[in-house]
Amino acid sequence: MSREVNRFADCVAVVTGAGSGIGKAAAERLANEGAKVILVGRTKSKLEQAAREINDTKKIPAAEIFPADVTDEEDLAELTQYIEEQYGDFHILINNAGGSSNGKLLEMDAAEWDQIQSVNLKSVFLSAKVLGGFMAKGAARTRGDDNRAIVNVASLSGHQAGAHIPHYSAAKAGVINLTKSLALEFAQYGIRVNSVSPGFIETPLTEQGLQNDKFVKAIERNTALQRVGKAEEIANIIAFVASGEASYMTGSDVLVDGGWLIK
């Protein structure tokens, strides 16, 4: 989708979990508005496909890839070194990497719990520490005269516990509260930190569930807008929160659930 606005001109952005779904849509939106985007994820083939789709619409490539595991501090340190060598600085961090599995708490082993906490919550902590720390150094050099933002992708499940996803719900609630703590710590550098909480969205994470007609009809019945959302609709919100238009907004969570919680 072409955009007349160019809110991210001269910005370098990092998007984690960018190979598909919301991460891919957010990367595309930022690139369409002028950003140079680094797509980060564990699966190189998905990143390559996403970057190709973004760059095919442009005369000058806007997307590149950096395969990395965002639960691994060494991988993040290597990514930071790459950014420093290639660009010297960066301005926008979208922490979108995540995942879930279904299971009852009483039947869940500790390894599964730890894995979901790691990919959803520890990843945000490490990315904020390593990448955010590097961004803070850049902010010190520019004295806060440019737009810098961290956007963490949380979930409706962080507000209302979902059935058979106690580990995911707990992790996403943690992301929302961690966001507030990060906002306090990064404010001194002029870096805003906010979270976005999507409701039921068409992504690879929800693909299997959305093949169940009863599940889809239940979502439609219990959502004020009576439909499942699209990844591009969440990307729109992420782009706004990351942009200078949200310059007085930090420590907030934006719930984008189609009206699920008001039903």
pTM for this entry: 0.95
**Each residue's pLDDT tens digit, 108-156:** 999 999 999 999 999 999 999 999 999 999 999 988 779 999 999 999 9
DSSP-assigned letters across all residues of 101-147: ----GGG--HHHHHHHHIIIIIHHHHHIIIIIHHHHHHHHHHTT-S-
Would you list the domain boundaries of the chain?
12-201+230-256
| CATH no., domain 12-201+230-256 | 3.40.50.720
Question: What is the CA 7 to chain-centroid distance, rounded?
Answer: 18
**Each residue's pLDDT tens digit, 5-30:** 799 999 999 999 999 999 999 999 99
**Each residue's pLDDT tens digit, 56-100:** 999 999 999 999 999 999 999 999 999 999 999 999 999 999 999
Cα-only R_g, the chain: 18
Residue tagged 């059935």 (tokens) = 163
The pair of structure tokens assigned to 239 is 């782009």
Give yes or no: 168 in active site: yes
| Annotated catalytic residue within 82, 168, 189, 248 | 168
Question: What is the CA 97 to chain-centroid distance, rounded?
Answer: 6
- Read off the pLDDT band of 183 (50, 70, 90): very high
Q: Look at residue 4 in the predicted model and tell me its pLDDT.
A: 53
**Which residues have C-beta within 8 Å of that of residue 7, sequence separation ≥ 6?**
33, 34, 239, 243, 244, 245
Q: Look at residue 2 in the predicted model and tell me its pLDDT.
A: 45
